[in-house]
Every structure is written in C-alpha cells, then in structure tokens.
Amino acid sequence: IFVIRNMITIGTIASFINYVRQFTRPLNDLANQFNVIQGAIASAERVFEIMEEEKESEDAYEAIKIDDIKESLEFKNLWFAYENEKYVLKDISFRVPPGRMIAIVGPTGAGKTTMVNLLARLYEIEKGKVLIDGIDIRKIKKESLRSIIGVVLQDTYLFSESVRENIRYGRLEATDEEVERVCKMVNAEGFISGLPQRYDTLLSDGAQGLSQGQRQLIAIARAVLADPKILILDEATSNIDTKTEKDVQRSMLNLMKGRTSFVIAHRLNTIKNADLILVINEGAIIEKGTHTELMEKKGFYYNLFTSQFGEVT
C-alpha cells in the first residue's frame, strides 16, 4: 500500500526485510548451537558410560587354552540374572557332541540370546556351569575361548572399507585367494562380481549400497574365513525376504558343516533339520528334541510351528 501511494520505495521494503532477517539470524544461530550442545552432551554421556564400565574379570591363574571341541559341550544346571533382577535363565541343562546343530526357539525375551552370551563369557555365570570337554569355561582363557566362536547376527556391521577387507576382518592374515575361496563357498561370489570393482569396491558407511541379504552373505563369509569351532547364528535371516533367505540358508548350511552350531530363530522352517531343538519360555527349557519328536508331542513347539505355517496334515 505504501509503495502504491509512493510513500516508500520497493528498495526500502527490501532493505527492511533484509534487516529483519539479519536481526533474527543470531537467535537462529544460538538455537542451532543449543541443539549441537545437547547432541554433544548425549554423546559424552555414552562415552563416559563406556569409560566407567567395569573391567572384565581376569582369567584364573591356572586358566588353559583350547582350540577345539573333542567330546562335548554341556550346559549344566545354569542359572543367570542381570544384576539384582529376577532370573532370566533357570536350571538350563543339555549336552551335545561336537559338530551338532542346536536350535533355540521361543518367545521374545525368553532368554535365548542370553544363553549364547554366557557361552562366550560376555557375562559371568552365577550358578551352574558351561563345560567344553568337561572343562568349566571359567577355567579357559577368554581370548582362547572366543577365538573358537564365530557369530553371525541379525544386523551385520560393515566398515567403510573394501569388500575384501570387510571379509578379511574374520582373519586378518588371510590371503586374497582365501577370501575369494570362502566367498565362492557361501555363494557371495555372484553379487560381488557385479560390483564396480568387485572385491576392491569401497563400501559406504553402513554399506548402504548393499541389500540386507548381501550384507548377511559378507558376514557369513567373514565367519567361514575365521573357521570357528562353535558357530552362533542369532536371527541371521529374520530381516531378509523369502527368496534371499533361501540363498543365505544354503550359505549357512555350508558354514555349519562340521561345526557345533547354535541357531536362534523365529522362522521355524529354518531349523527343522536341527539335531536338537531347545524350546525356551520364561527362562526355562520346557521342551527339547528333534522337529519330528516335538511335533508329535503337540505341545508348545507344535503351537509355535502351526501358528506360522498352519495345521500339519
């Protein structure tokens, strides 16, 4: 209106608007700095939490080294609770010879992952024992124990490095030929050959250019390269589609050959061939046996299976 009446010019209005923006800019900058500070405080809290974390207990003076499982792996009357909470594992007992596939199934929060964490001594056992060839794992050096354990998790962490170096992380001294051999073994060679620089292709942070199934194949190749005697597969196929799952499943079968394997799964069709299925509920083993034996019982496992795949005829 003022411009139409020739009371002020357009230039004056433009200058006024520009001055207003400049006037509010320090306030906006201050608000942005406040957000940065809040983010830094949150990050610092996480860093200090790690710095204040209690150091792992030292190995016993008489602790020994092991490099294989020759006779058996046994959980014996195992109980465990986090700090002062109620027990999340209650009187867990089972024994298997080496080279067997053990599947652990049950509802979320039943204690499945806690079991395998205790095997790797990520937590210390409160009551009971875990025995390898009759030796309490607390009498085995942690570094030695963990060197024979390989893990493939639901979410695979890949570094901002080449595909080759991500796989070699399983065994740093491995040659290029060994890396390529295990990739062929686990069916990862196909998609790697399609990458711009094959094994030398650099992965971005989080490997965003790869599908979940491709990331899992790299994780499986990494585990095969490490050649573990005990293998832990924790929901390794839960985040991938059915078609990709079949490819990953074939790779996992190659990985499990000759190894004592613990498979935690919600998709029960992936563990039908397990030598032993442990059904966990509220921290206790309520059923155990093969798939056929548990289906014949028509108990908890039967109900879980039929809830996913319908009634078995």
305 and 161 within one domain: yes
Helices (H), the chain: 10-51, 112-119, 142-147, 163-168, 176-185, 189-193, 212-226, 242-256, 291-297, 300-309
**3-state DSSP assignment of residue 105:** strand
pLDDT tens digits, 22-45: 777 787 888 888 888 888 898 898
Assigned domain for 33 exists: yes
pLDDT tens digits, 111-156: 888 888 888 888 888 888 888 888 888 888 888 888 888 888 777 7
Who has greater pLDDT, 45 or 190?
45
Who has greater pLDDT, 43 or 195?
43
- pLDDT attached to residue 46: 87
- pLDDT attached to residue 96: 86
Residue ranges making up the domain that contains 245? 73-309
Mean model confidence pLDDT for the chain: 80
Closest C-alpha to 279, from 261, 252, 298: 298
Question: Using 50, 70 and 90 to split pLDDT, how confident is the model at 198?
Answer: confident
CATH code for the domain in which residue 248 is found: 3.40.50.300
Assigned domain for 82 exists: yes
For residue 76, count other CB atoms closer than 10 A to its CB. 14
Residue whose pair of structure tokens reads 């589609």 in the numeric block = 241
162 and 129 within one domain: yes
Who has greater pLDDT, 190 or 239?
190
